[in-house]
Amino acid sequence: MFSSVLIANRGEIACRVIRTARALGMRTIAVYSDADAKALHVRLADEAVNIGPAPVTESYLRAERIIAAAKETGAECIHPGYGFLSENAAFSEACAEAGIVFVGPPAAAIRAMGLKDGAKAIMEKAGVPVVPGYHGERQDPAFLKQKAYEIGYPVLIKAVAGGGGKGMRRVDKALAFEEALASAQREAKNAFGDERVLVEKYIESPRHVEVQVFADAHGNAVHLFERDCSVQRRHQKVVEEAPAPGMTEAVRAAMGAAAVAAAKAVGYVGAGTVEFIADGSTGLRPDGFWFMEMNTRLQVEHPVTEEITGLDLVAWQLMVAAGEALPLGQDELAIDGHAVEARLYAEDPDNGFLPSIGDLVALDFGAGEGIRVDTGVSEGGAVSPFYDPMIAKVIAHGATRDEAFDRLAAALRATVVAGPRTNLGFLARLLDHPEFRAGNFDTGFLDRHLDDLVGFSGGRAAVALGALRLVERDEERIRAETARRTGEPDSPWNTTDAFQLGPERRFVLPVTADGDDKKVELAWGPEGLSAAYYGAEPDWHDEAHGATIVDAPDGVYVLSDGVQTFVKFADPAAHEDEVEAEGRVGAPMHGKLVAMFVAPGQQVAKGDRLFIVEAMKMEHAVASPMDGVIADVRGVVGDQLDQGATVIVFEETEGEG
- Which sequence positions are flagged as catalytic? 297
Q: How many CA within 13 A on the CB side of residue 22?
A: 14
Which residues are registered as beta bridge partners of 278?
207, 289
Burial readout 537-566 (b: 16 or more C-beta within 10 A, e: otherwise): eeebeebbeebebbeeeebbbbbbebbbbb
147 vs 427: CA distance, rounded Å: 39
Cα–Cα nearest to 374, from 12, 36, 45 = 12
Which residues are registered as beta bridge partners of 201?
155
Q: Which long-range contacts (CB under 8 A, 24 or more apart) does 547-555 make?
A: 547/458, 547/461, 547/462, 547/465, 548/416, 549/465, 549/466, 549/469, 550/361, 550/362, 550/416, 550/418, 551/469, 551/473, 552/361, 552/418, 555/466, 555/470
Q: How many CA within 13 A on the CB side of residue 132?
A: 12
1 vs 321: CA distance, rounded Å: 9
DSSP 8-state code for residue 244: -
Helices (H), 415-561: 424-432, 434-437, 445-453, 459-473, 475-486
Pairing of strands 516-525, 390-398: unpaired
Cβ neighbours of residue 86 closer than 8 Å, sequence gap 6 or more: 9, 80, 104, 296, 297, 298
419 vs 483: CA distance, rounded Å: 35
DSSP string across 284-345: --TTSEEEEEEE-S--TTHHHHHHHHT--HHHHHHHHHTTPPPSS-GGG----SEEEEEEEE
Report phi then psi at 472, rounded to 5: -60, -40
- Straight-line distance from the first to the last Cα atom of the chain, in angstroms, rounded to the nearest whole number: 83
Does the CA dihedral 320-325-330-334 come out positive or negative? negative
Does the CA dihedral 170-174-176-181 come out positive or negative? positive
Residues comprising the chain, all counted:
657
